[in-house]
Amino acid sequence: MSILQVENLQHDVRRHFWTPRRPILRDVSFAVEAGEIFGFVGPNGAGKTTTIKSILGLLRPTAGRIEVCGGRPSDPRVRAHVGFMPEQAYFSEYLTARELLLQHALLAGARWREASGKASAALEQVGLGPHADGRLGSFSKGMLQRAGLAQALVGAPQLVVLDEPMSGLDPLGRHDVRELMLDLRRRGTTVFFSTHILPDVELLCDRVGIIVAGTTRKVGRLDELLGGAVRGVEVVAEVCPPALVATLEGLATVLPRHGGEIVLTCTDLGRANEVIDVLRRSGVGVRGVQVLRRSLEALFVAETEQDTRGTRS
């Protein structure tokens, strides 16, 4: 069952009243299933944030249909089930983290008596418990991102919408956010996040949507989008005598590596097994084996270049 459905979304903007309208979103369509992590991927300026603003009712698109948690984004009751973390930490610098979370707990529908407890719990969940009474103006970028995540989660939403949640975070911060997102999925919360950091998508997402120049190009499971087919197998072997290298050159492409190791690129798994057998019989150790499949980066670049070629022609 889809918790979020976007159909044929279009949005045009006009920079000044005397300038013509230009399209930001041309045709965006995708659906997010309940309980999954959905990655919304696209280059800068593709329309990710505009799409998110449409989902949250911050923007009324020119055309198209959006259904969130069974209702329209313009209905305030629907937004009670949605938590949102903006791309930049858009919070008042004069408030403390606790005040911010209290504010959002109340806005999310919590009663006064329970709001304080929910605020504290959300701050602990993102690791900001010790900084609860610090002013947001004094927070680092990473701390502000955590505060943003906390206010998105404080209302225990069914759907969490995160706009570039890893933006500006150090590796430890990104790890923590990834773990949080995985924990949300374990608890049955649906996570929809936009990003252009592809390794995070490959680590986290059940399904992915790729948007380029305001149009969704691909939507589906990662393994389906990437084809699943094996493009090659790399075998890394220890130092080999020249005679053995000559034999292996008949089975695979041989490239030397640092420390005297060699990398053997085979066309398929069967050929890779033959190479490994030859190495074993010769008493040469295998340092590593990696199956090469089409990467998300390759797909992403192909889709973006296709758009660039289309623009030039």
Partner 1 sequence: MRNMLVGTAVVAAATLLEAVRNRILMIGLLFAVVLLGLSVAAASVSFGEESRLIIDVGLAASSVFGAAIAISLSIASFAGELRRHTAYPILARPIPRFAFVLGKYLGVVVTVVIVVAVMVAATATIVTVYDAAPPSAFWASLVLTAVEVQLVVAVATLFSALTSPALAAAFSVGLVLAGNLAGDIQLFALRLSNKGVALGYWLQGLYYLLPDLQRLSARTQAANHLEVAANELVLNAAYGLGYGVAALVLACWLFDRRRVI
Sole residue written with tokens 């999954």: 36
Q: DSSP assignment, residue 258? A: G
What's the rounded Cα separation, in Å, for the pair 276 and 286?
7
| Burial state string for 274-296 with b = 16 or more CB within 10 A and e = fewer than 16 | ebbebbeeeebeeeebeeeeeeb
Candidate list 41, 66, 68, 108; residue touching partner 1; CB under 8 A: 108
Of the ranges 97-105, 120-128, 192-200, 300-308, which one interacts with partner 1 (CB under 8 A)? 97-105
Output the smallest distance, CB 277 to partner 1, in A: 59
Locate 80 and state its tokens: 């009670």
CB of 226 to partner 1, least distance (A): 33
Alpha carbon distance, N-terminus to C-terminus of the chain: 41
Q: Which residue has the tokens 């490959």?
A: 202
In whole angstroms, the minimum distance from the beta carbon of 124 to partner 1 comes to: 20
Separation of alpha carbons 48 and 26, rounded Å: 12
Applying CB under 8 A, the span of 107-115, 201-209, 253-261, 263-271 interacting with partner 1 comes to 107-115
- Tell me the window of 145-153, 181-189, 263-271, 277-285 that interacts with partner 1 (CB under 8 A): 145-153
Q: x/- site string to partner 1, residues 57 to 96, per CB under 8 A?
A: xxxx---------------xxxxx-x-xxx-x-xxx-xx-
Please count the CA atoms within 13 angstroms of the CA of 220 that sit on its side-chain side: 10
Among 31, 34, 107, 245, binds partner 1 (CB under 8 A): 107
CB 294 within 8 A of CB 226: yes
- Tell me which stretch binds partner 1 (CB under 8 A): 31-39, 102-110, 273-281, 302-310: 102-110
CB of 97 to partner 1, least distance (A): 13
DSSP state of 260: G
| 190 within 8 A of 160, measured Cβ to Cβ | yes
Residue from the set 2, 10, 103, 265 that interacts with partner 1 by CB under 8 A: 103
C-alpha to C-alpha distances, 145 to 37, 49, 150, 194, 254, nearest whole angstrom: 19, 16, 9, 14, 46
- Number of residues located near partner 1, criterion CB under 8 A: 32
SS3 state of residue 61: coil
CB of 176 to partner 1, least distance (A): 20
Q: Which stretch binds partner 1 (CB under 8 A): 56-64, 176-184, 236-244, 297-305?
A: 56-64
Of residues 132 and 252, the one with the C-beta less far from partner 1: 132
**For partner 1, which is the closer residue by CB, 17 or 260?**
17
Site for partner 1 contains 131 (CB under 8 A):
no
Q: Please, what's the b/e burial string for 198-224 (b: 16 or more CB within 10 A of its CB; e: otherwise)?
A: bebbeebbbbbbbbbbbbbbbbeebee
Binding segment (CB under 8 A) for partner 1, from list 53-61, 180-188, 228-236, 260-268: 53-61
List interacting residues with partner 1 (CB under 8 A).
Answer: 13, 53, 56-60, 76-80, 82, 84-86, 88, 90-92, 94-95, 99, 103-104, 106-109, 148, 151-152
